[in-house]
Amino acid sequence: MKQIRDSSLKKLCRAYLSNESGATAIEYALIAALIGVGIIGGLNVFSGSSESSWNGLATKVDDAFS
């Protein structure tokens, strides 16, 4: 009886240690977080030039309808 429990415990431990699905999910979450940080950083860098472009366009449209 003890040998049966030992072998099933060993199988359970091996299955637990060889399971990589949690590690894969963490890797995908880290990749998604890094992509998000990159997008936010890029938006911060280009926000000044983008704002001036939109303001210039708004001025041209405003002048066209005046």
Domain limits of the chain?
21-66
Per-residue pLDDT band at 5 (split at 50, 70, 90): low
| pLDDT one-digit tens code per residue, 13-55 | 787 777 766 778 889 999 999 999 999 988 888 777 777 888 8
Give 13: exposed, middle or buried? Use CB within 10 Å, 0-12, 13-18, 19+: exposed
Whole-prediction pTM: 0.48
- The pLDDT of residue 26 is 86
Q: What is the pLDDT of residue 60?
A: 93
pLDDT of residue 8: 80
